[in-house]
């Protein structure tokens, strides 16, 4: 009888441990997905900045004048990228 109770206790402990490991795995996977999404947003922001800089460079190379609006737009894109990076690094 004591053997059966001990065996049942061990099985219960294994079940609880497996359940805890499953919960940890689910939380880890959710965190990894959040980080992937954040990195994707950062990458898209960097791409937008790169395109904006190329456009400004081409405009200047063609002898055009860069307007304050163009510079403000580029600065806004840069601020978005910085905010995305800050949000990603501030996550616990």
pTM (2 d.p.): 0.67
Tokens of 70: 């163009």
Res 4 pLDDT > 90: no
pLDDT in tens, 26-67: 999 999 999 999 899 899 989 989 998 898 888 888 888 888
Confidence class of residue 91 from pLDDT cuts 50, 70 and 90?
Answer: low
Residue 65: per-residue pLDDT = 82
pLDDT at 88: 81
Q: Which residue has the tokens 């061990």?
A: 10
């Amino acid at each position: 009888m004591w053997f059966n109770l001990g065996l049942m206790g061990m099985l219960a402990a294994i079940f609880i441990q497996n359940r805890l490991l499953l919960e940890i795995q689910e939380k880890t996977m959710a965190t990894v997905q959040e980080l992937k999404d954040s990195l994707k947003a950062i990458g898209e922001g960097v791409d937008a900045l790169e395109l904006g800089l190329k456009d400004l460079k081409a405009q200047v190379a063609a002898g055009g004048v860069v307007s304050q609006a163009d510079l403000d737009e580029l600065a806004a894109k840069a601020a978005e990228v910085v905010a995305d990076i800050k949000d990603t690094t501030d996550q616990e």
